[in-house]
Amino acid sequence: MKKGRNKFMDAYQVWANRFAVATASTALFVGIPTYLQSRGQEAEVPREDIHYTAEPEFSPASEERIRSKNHEERVKALEEAWRAEEKNYQNFEMPEAEPNDHDSTQLAKLSPRVIQEVIDHYGNGKSELTAQDIMGSSKRTTVPELMYLVSMAQEGNFATKGRAKRTNNPGNVGNTDNGDNRYLSSIEKGLDLYGKTIAREYFPNEKASLGAFIENGFRRPIDGARYMRDEKAESKYIKIFNDIARRARRKS
């Protein structure tokens, strides 16, 4: 009997010790934060680490946002440039263009909006070129903007069709009928190639003009080589010129 009682007491003591430890732990867990709060301190509560999945640096979504942002910035810059340039054309009166009158001096002043309208019309709204691109290249090469517009509308609809599009060469300079092609790394370089070629090879001793270009039969003075072989090029150039003149009159 005594032996059984001793076993009972031993088991009770083990249970009592475990209960005491559990009670003490609970008191610490509850009491310590309360004590710290009473002293104006925050209790440090364990928290689970939260891992956020970052968007890849070059994901399709991020690239689309970058393209959209670049497009918006380009449009904004273009609009600001237009507003500045338009001030120069407020009092400009577009003279009447007679049939087959292709003297480019009467179109010496083309506003950015007219230039962009011509690009959008002949490029069917798909051309990468802008009025600012044409105006910038014209300033660099001294070739009139009008020559860019007429040639590029005729040669490849502002690089939206044919070899002009495939080669980034809106003037088709070096894209010959025998199959040779002149590839450019960007359409802007294609613009400058056209302007430099016209200025250096077709007008080496005078300022380039559309009227003289047509009257000279599109030929280089040094060897008589023709810019294009199309026998109907003259009538096509004049038709485009008169269309641009009408657009300019409506905008003036």
Cα–Cα distance between 146 and 110 in angstroms, integer? 8
The pLDDT value recorded for residue 110 is 86
CA dist list (Å): 111 to 16, 72, 91, 132: 98, 22, 12, 11
Residue 205 lies in a domain: yes
> Looking at the domain assignment, is residue 210 inside a domain?
yes
Mean pLDDT by 10 residues, the chain (252 residues): 51 55 49 52 51 52 67 68 58 44 58 94 94 94 94 94 92 87 93 96 93 93 92 92 88 58
C-alpha distances out from residue 52 to 56, 71, 200, Å? 12, 30, 61
Q: Show the domain range for 189.
A: 60-251
Q: What pLDDT is recorded for position 248?
A: 87
In a domain, 38, yes or no: no
pLDDT of res. 177: 81
pLDDT of residue 82: 59
Sorted by sequence, the CB contacts under 8 Å of residue 144 that are 6+ apart come out as 104, 107, 108, 138, 208, 209, 210
Q: Is residue 28 part of a domain?
A: no
Return the exposure string of 148-163: e unless at least 16 CB atoms fall within 10 Å of the residue's CB, then b: bbbbbbbbbbbbbbeb
Specify if 31 maps to a domain.
no
Res 79: pLDDT: 66
| Total number of domains constituting the chain | 1
pTM: 0.61
Q: Tell whether 96 is covered by a domain.
A: yes
Whether 116 is in a domain gets the answer yes
Nearest to 210 by CA among 147, 154, 151, 149: 147
Between vectors from CA 57 to CA 56 and to CA 60, what angle results, nearest 5°?
70
Say if 237 falls within a structural domain: yes
C-beta separation of 109 from 135 below 8 A: no
